[in-house]
Structure 1
Amino acid sequence: MSFTHAHQAAMAQQRNRGRCLHHDNGARCDAIISAHSIQKGGQLNLIAEQGHVYRLTADLTTLRSTGGKVQLKKAGINKVSTFRGMCKDHDNKLFAPIDDSPLKFDHEQIALYAYRSICREYFVKENAARSLEAMINHPDVPQASRQLLLDSTQGQNSGFQHLQRHKLIYDAALSEQSFADFRFLVFWSSSPCAIQASGLLFPDYDFLGRQLQDLGPETEALDLLTFFTAPTDHGWAYVLAWHQSSDQTCQWVRDSLQEGICQGRKLEDMLLRLSLACENHAIRISWWDKLTPSAQHAGLTALSVGTDPNVGIPSDYLASGCEGLADWIFDSVQDGAGN
């Protein structure tokens, strides 16, 4: 079996290895399901056309065939954003407040959306780390690629360790129902939506291109920011959310967003860049297809951030690019972030 096929097989094996990531999981968690990290009934249905959306395709085969360039691929909403990281019982009970009700200015709902983002990323990062470790000693790995695999494994393991720490923080907060420990900004919109997303990042640069955290392996603890879209009674919302333990860096992100608006930057542009920097999103097909070739090129450039381990993250990836692409507007904002 070739290296490429072996890598794909290893990734598929990990994706299919279901486990329940609920904070109170146990031996009874045996009915593992393919849970949606972006709601099918609420969020995906807002943008689906004939049951389909665009999603990012950045697998090894695609990157090799396109010279390292990511692509968008049409996909049915039954398969978008799913991960085998929850049992049926825990998924139904834990996420009922967000699956059964539109988003309101509610700390519990915000905490649950953020926790779902954490669980999905935990599942993906753990799979990636294990797959890379399995491939390092594969006999068909070219010698020139072995060091790249070693470097990638080190990076994945480092990121996963930081994520493990935050997963424990979120586990404890939800177990104790400490929903007031979550901070957030909610941007409300009644306009048509083109993107739905659920993601997170360790903020390295803010919306003005200033460095916030060093993501190098020597850093012992990193602050974490989650972001997601959600259906509301009168449209949809874009939310930035974090646990109070990540207050310092996330408040800087919040402040830079406000500074950017004061400088004349468009909120819609800034949040679009953040959405495209996350690989877990779904895009309205007609919106993307109507973009000019230059606009699509700008979008694909934003989508490519972080996909090539040989290319560093540009400091301005949240500060510039994709200006004017978003055709939606935000009507109001509510601040649950405190000071």
Structure 2
Amino acid sequence: MSNETIQTFVAAQKRTYAKCLYGDLTCEEKPVDAHSIQNAKVIELIQDNGHVLMPDFRLVNGEPKLAFVKIGRNDASTFTGLCSKHDIELFKTIDTEPLNVRRREHLEQLAYRSVMRDLHVHLLNSEKAWAIHEQLCKAGGKNPAEVATAASIIALNHDRKGLQALNYREKHFDTPLSRGKIPDLQHLLITMNGQEPVVAASALLSSDFAEDGELIGPTFNVVPMDNDKSFAVLSYPSGQEPKIKADLPEIFDGDEDRLTYELAKLIIQRIENFVLSPSHYDKWSSDKKVRVLREFEANIQGPKPVEDHDDLNIFL
């Protein structure tokens, strides 16, 4: 890789997006590093010596390589999309009380946090793609505002996805809550008894889009509760239930004995915001490490069919 290409990659990786995205987006307070996966309770169960693993790109011999990278627990799954006041206001209950997946309010806040993080990550990725566009234009002596590149198209696509996430949040969370109503959500709660705390995740998935561009999809959270029990939670608007069930038949109607495997495959295919226990990962065979990373990388641009293999069960 040329020095110019390395500089482009580094410039993109350094680009940030820090703004409080609360409500109507007018808050001007300084954002904090808010955790999308709860630190004190969830990451605490997974971490080893203060670290977890997350998928990320790093420069290796001048080439960007995807790997499971050690991240300090205080930095894992964070996003700079809320100021301290609004982070506390929105998520005080699940951050200060013992997490109870049987309580509606706790499930709603888990889902809301997933949506907030998804909104922020698209705006962040737009900034990173635009940084690449600027570097390409600079190298070619062109005005970034006057030409299009593949990177600028990617940036615009993330802007579009960010707007879809914002509209989803406003319709299914902000509007009913502002009217004193309970968000009309359904929750599929999957109990994994005997499951060691080795994986946690938080994401907003897209199952489909309505004719007007409205995002149809569930939030997805994997929440370890103690040393031998974890939960997976899919939360979704009631009116979207038929399309979401049709998109995820292996989760809603599949064989119960394969459910943990199907959850693992769902993470590999469609989720990048997840953490792994380093000691758990170290127990994997070399073949398993290669296979999981290869399938994850193949699905970065969108879910693709995955060849079934027992090694894809990242819970084991």
Give the TM-score, by structure 2 length. 0.82
- Once the two structures are superposed, the pairs formed by residues 196-275 of structure 1 within 5 Å of their partners are 196-203=200-207, 213=208, 220-232=213-225, 235-253=229-247, 255-261=249-255, 266-275=258-267
- 1:228 to partner: Cα distance: 0.7
Matched position secondary structure for 1:260: coil
**Cα deviation per residue 1:16-40 (whole Å; 9 max; x = unaligned)?**
xx2222226654x524211111111
Establish whether residue 298 from structure 1 lines up as the match of residue 295 from structure 2.
Answer: no
Uncovered stretches (5+) of structure 1, i.e. residues with no partner? 204-212, 329-339
Greater RCO, CA 8 A, separation 6+:
1
Alpha carbons 1:19, 1:32 under 8 Å: kept: yes
Q: Go from structure 1 to structure 2 and tell me whether the alpha carbon gap of 1:302 and 1:291 turns closer, same or farther (over 3 Å shift).
A: same
Question: 1:287 corresponds to which residue?
Answer: 280
What one-letter code is carried by the residue in structure 2 that aligns with 1:202? Answer: S
Task: Give me the whole-angstrom Cα distance separating, in 1, the residues matched to 2:83 and 2:282.
Answer: 37
Runs of 4+ in 1 over 6 A off after TM superposition: none
Matched position secondary structure for 2:139: coil
How many residue pairs get matched? 302
- Once the two structures are superposed, the pairs formed by residues 321-332 of structure 1 within 5 Å of their partners are 321-323=309-311, 325-327=313-315
Root-mean-square deviation (CA, aligned residues, Å) is 3.1
Q: Go from structure 1 to structure 2 and tell me whether the alpha carbon gap of 1:118 and 1:4 turns closer, same or farther (over 3 Å shift).
A: farther
Question: 1:179 corresponds to which residue?
Answer: 182
Matched position secondary structure for 1:230: strand
Q: Go from structure 1 to structure 2 and tell me whether the alpha carbon gap of 1:283 and 1:231 turns closer, same or farther (over 3 Å shift).
A: closer
Task: Give me the whole-angstrom Cα distance separating, in 2, the residues matched to 1:158 and 1:320.
Answer: 33
- Once the two structures are superposed, the pairs formed by residues 1-339 of structure 1 within 5 Å of their partners are 2-15=4-17, 18-23=18-23, 26-27=26-27, 30-58=29-57, 61=59, 65=63, 69-100=65-96, 101-137=98-134, 138-140=137-139, 147-169=149-171, 170-190=173-193, 191-203=195-207, 213=208, 220-232=213-225, 235-253=229-247, 255-261=249-255, 266-276=258-268, 277-307=270-300, 309=301, 313-314=303-304, 316-317=305-306, 320-323=308-311, 325-327=313-315
- 1:7 to partner: Cα distance: 5.0
Alpha carbons 1:70, 1:303 under 8 Å: kept: no
Task: Give me the whole-angstrom Cα distance separating, in 1, the residues matched to 2:250 and 2:220.
Answer: 16
Alpha carbons 1:81, 1:280 under 8 Å: kept: yes
What one-letter code is carried by the residue in structure 2 that aligns with 1:23? Answer: G
Alpha carbons 1:229, 1:239 under 8 Å: kept: yes
Task: Give me the whole-angstrom Cα distance separating, in 2, the residues matched to 1:324 and 1:136.
Answer: 35
- 1:108 to partner: Cα distance: 1.7
- 1:302 to partner: Cα distance: 3.0
Matched position secondary structure for 1:38: coil
- 1:11 to partner: Cα distance: 4.7
Amino-acid identity (%): 22
Matched position secondary structure for 2:292: helix
Q: Go from structure 1 to structure 2 and tell me whether the alpha carbon gap of 1:64 and 1:257 turns closer, same or farther (over 3 Å shift).
A: farther
Alpha carbons 1:302, 1:321 under 8 Å: kept: no
Alpha carbons 2:292, 2:312 under 8 Å: kept: no
Task: Give me the whole-angstrom Cα distance separating, in 2, the residues matched to 1:266 and 1:199.
Answer: 22
**Cα deviation per residue 1:199-240 (whole Å; 9 max; x = unaligned)?**
12212xxxxxxxxx479xx97333122101235478431111
Give the TM-score, by structure 1 length. 0.77
Q: Go from structure 1 to structure 2 and tell me whether the alpha carbon gap of 1:150 and 1:180 turns closer, same or farther (over 3 Å shift).
A: closer
